[in-house]
Structure 1
Amino acid sequence: MATNRYWVVSLPVQNSASSLWSRLQESISKNSFDTPLYRFSTPDLRVGTLDSLLALSDDLVKSNNFIEGVSHKIRRQIEELERVSGVESGGLTVNGVPVDSYLTRFVWDEAKYPTMSPLREIVDNIHVQVARIEDDLKVRVAEYNNVRSQLNAINRKQSGSLAVRDLSNLVKPEDIITSEHLVTLLAVVPKYSQKDWLSNYETLTTYVVPRSSKKLYEDNEYALYTVTLFLRVADNFRTSARERGFQIRDFEHSSEAQESRKKELEKLMQDQERLKSILLQWSYNSYGEVFSSWMHFCAVRVFVESILRYGLPPSFLAALLAPSLKSEKKVRSILESLCDTTHRQCVLEIRR
């Protein structure tokens, strides 16, 4: 059963936990049979003082929002990376176990979070671990996005309009004349102005070689023309062309520079694939770690809230439910019917 919305609830135990569990199972099966129900294991944690519990309770909601936010942030990063990579996800896991299975069979990790530690220490440790992962995520995503931005900039130059794109793939060495006295310029001409260009380019300044303009390429907006003239009037030609709405692009044909740009592009593409693969694998692992931390945090929160609601000694039943939207009111009614008038059930929502 795969879902992304769960409730962790606690109910006060009046007589025995097994009897309450049976009543809950029976009520759910009769009145909301489409709602999966599981026991949620909470360990015997150190209670401390009532003041410490009240102080901790004030911080639990903020910390929960932070940890949940990091979990969702990593999940969204995974979804984006899988989309751009064309990878079909086999499902997120925690220590190799599908997330739903881990959640419905949650067991407290005593080695990682000793139950004899103060509650504040456990909560702070979880917060620090998740904050460290979030910081690591920011660094890795920034590194990956930096390479993507460089590639996008190159691609824009290669696929953009003639006004901005790289011209090295469009201009051949034989298109350019460069000598002691002559120079070939490249003019970007609006498509609707091509007749104007061909009629007037020879008169934009003196010493323009007649009939020297040749169209090399055309896109949806512009056409690229060459024009050959004396080097000493090149600046005058640029000024006159600009006044007529023609753009003269700076260009110097260099096979070495073209080869260098090609190698740079290949390296960036390799770096992008490498960083994307590393980030995706890291995100898979980190999502499991954050989700596990979040579930331990929820167990602490249920424990603290239950004691503050139901009193000492700890005597409550924790359960995990996955109600559909249409069953939510019915499930809340069932939970309320199992509590006496002096208590209100504790409900924590988990959207994984």
Structure 2
Amino acid sequence: MSHIVFHYHVAGDSSDIAARSESLLLEQTVELSRAAASDAWVRENIVGEVLSIKPRESGGFAVTIAQPLRTTALDPAQFLNVAFGNSSLQPDVKLVGVEPPDEFFKTFRGPRFGANALREKLGAFGRALTATALKPMGLPPEKLAALAYSFAVAGIDVIKDDHGLADHDFCPFAQRVELCQRAVEKANAETGGRTIYAPNLIGSPASIQRQFAFAREAGVGAVLLAPMLVGPALLHELASAAALPIIAHPAFGGSEWIAPEVLFGDIFKWFGADASIYPHLGGRFSYSRDTCLSLAARLNSSAHGLKPAFPVPAGGVKTSRVREVLSFYGGDTMLLVGGSLLESGEVIQRTKDFVAEVASVSKALAS
């Protein structure tokens, strides 16, 4: 029987860690004590095993648990339930790693497009990709379209909606998508560029499916989705349609009880994200150096036969940090710069300078 292995950090001391690990194991599936889970088939097929308990130098314990893969039903929501459902409510536990068996990846196939297909779509090789966001919330569709045109004329690769743009009365989704996509197409026709526009999908599952279909019909190059706002299972469902690349946004994913590299680097990718945005160190939101490196490595990886996805460091990254950030990640990244391109009002020139510097730094790092 196949098992999926979960790694946790658990606070506590040596006097009760064995009992605590046992309760963690059972909480995620049967929610009963071992004595109460008396059915023989349940004990044999559903109850997992605590594989190891090891002290951590920084305090607490590293606890490794194996759960039967069948408990996940190979369903994205149920997988998360078994991984970190009830235990996410317990402040002494943090999920820090997941090791699925090969069978898991017959269902969770990762990015449907991936980094290489995005490069092909954009005609962008041998360098990092460039991205920016349409903002602020409150601008009408016409002004956002004008901004999209400016970014596209300047040669940026990806223009995404800010994740705060929804189907507002002051900026309706359909009108925004039509105008912004037309603006990008106009700029591409004038410059020979291949910029793509990615509208933000947000709302109920049914409304997001309608938005996805509308965006695809409008000809957009990708979509933006915040899986923790709308449901990680919906990311998996949309990606399975294999119609458009999906850029995953980290909003509402800031729980301190699950490691960011697991959520944004592993799970988002396994569920189908072609690129995953996350806060780079030193920005408005900041992860540690090791976390950022681990995130990028997981997204860039082709482990389990999955296509590599783009790491998208963001969160207040300034244009003045291009060399620093690309030296940190290398060329297999998509650098997202938002507000920094809007600060002086000279949007086209600032964007051209940003695009040129990313190309120049990428070339220097590759040589």
TM range (shorter): under 0.3
Rg: which structure is higher? Answer: 1
Give the structure, 1 or 2, with the largest relative contact order (CA under 8 Å, sep 6 or more).
1
**Which structure shows the higher helix fraction?**
1
Query: Given the two structures, how large is their TM-score scaled by the length of structure 1?
Result: 0.20
